[in-house]
Amino acid sequence: MHLPSITALRALDAIARHGTVSRAASELFLTRSAISHQINVLEQTLGFAVTQRAGRGITLTYRGQRYLHEARRVLSILEEAVRRSAGGEVAGHLRVSCTPGFAVYWLCHHLGAFQGAYPHVELSITAPRASDEVNPRDADLFIVYGSGNWPDFSVEPITSLSYFPVCSPMLINARGRPLALDDLADVLLLHMGNHADWAQWLGAAGAHHIDGRRGIVFSEAPFAQEAAISGQGVTIGDTFLSGDAIARGLLVRPFDVTVESPHGYYLVARPEPSQRPEVRAFSEWLLDELRVSIRAWSDHSRYA
C-alpha cells in the first residue's frame, strides 16, 4: 500500500478548515488544480472519498473526517520533528487568526520583523468571521477583541482601549476653526457596526441634544477610519486602531472626552498549542513590538 504524500495531507487539512479549494490553495501557495490533484491521488490511495461538494464549497465526508483526525496527529509529529532538526531554531507552520482592524493598522506593518527574527516559521494570517470568534479548526493562535472570557483557553491580554472622536485635519481646516460639540449636529458621523459608538460617547460628553444616529454605518472599523482619514466625516477611534494615524498627522482628536472600553485585544489559544515554540515566539514578539508602538503613539497625541 502506498503512503499518502505530506502535501496531500496538508491539502486535506486546509480544505477542512477553509471549506473551499481556493482558500486552501492560497494558504499552501499552490494552484487550485494542484490541490484538486492531491485530493484525487489521496482518494485513489485510500480507496474512498474524503471530500464532497456542499453548495459552492467543499466539506469532508464522514470517513474523510475520521481519517483527517488521525492524519493531523501525524502532521503534528512531523512538524515537531522539523522543529527539533532545525538546529534548535523555532520552526513550523503557524496559523494566526486576526481581527481586520488589528491586522490593517498594526500587524501588517510589522510582520517583516517577525519573519526576520524567525525565518523558519511558515506564517499564515486569516480573518475571523466575528471579532471574538475562537475556533481551533481555523488557527493555532487568535488575536481577538472581546471581554477576555474564553473558557478552556489560554488568554493573554494585549492592550486595553479608550474611545474618542477622530477626524482628518482637512475637515477642520475646511471649516476654518476647531470643531465645537454643536458642530456634530451637521458634520457627517461615521459609525462602526451600529450607532452605539456615538451614542455612548455623546452621552459621556453631555451632548444629549446631538442625534447620534445620523450618518453612515460601516461593518468594519477600518472602513470608518479610512473614510475619516479622507476627510469624509468624524468617527469614533481608539487608542490602538487610531494610534499610528494620529502620530502621523492623518487624524486628530477634536475633543478631549474619552470613554474607557470594557473590552480589549487578547491573544487566545488552546492550552496545548499555546506552549508550542512558534506560538510562544510569535506571542512574545507581538507583545514586545507592540509596547514600542504604543510608547511612540503616546508621544504624539494630537488634539485639534
What is 160-260's CATH number? Answer: 3.40.190.10
Q: Which cell numbers in the block locate residue 212?
A: 447620534
What is the average per-residue pLDDT within 179-200? 92
Query: For the range 209-214, what are the long-range contacts, defined as Cβ-Cβ under 8 Å and sequence gap of 24 or more?
Result: 209/185, 210/181, 210/182, 210/184, 210/185, 211/185, 214/188, 214/189
What would be the CATH architecture of the domain defined by 1-85? Orthogonal Bundle (1.10)
- Report the pLDDT value the prediction gives residue 303, as an integer from 0 to 100: 62
**pLDDT, tens digit, for every residue of 263-274?**
899 999 988 888
Q: Quick check: 223 pLDDT over 90? A: yes
- Report the pLDDT value the prediction gives residue 270, as an integer from 0 to 100: 87
What is the average per-residue pLDDT within 137-145? 90
Q: Percentage of the chain with pLDDT > 70?
A: 94
Instruction: Delimit the domains of the chain by residue range.
Output: 1-85, 160-260
**pLDDT, tens digit, for every residue of 70-104?**
888 777 777 666 555 554 578 888 999 999 889 98
What is the average per-residue pLDDT within 108-136? 88
Strands (E), 147-257: 154-166, 189-192, 216-218, 234-238
Q: How far is CA 43 from CA 24, 34, 52, 67, 291, in A?
A: 17, 14, 12, 11, 49
- Report the pLDDT value the prediction gives residue 152, as an integer from 0 to 100: 86
Give the pTM: 0.66
Q: Quick check: 198 pLDDT over 90? A: yes
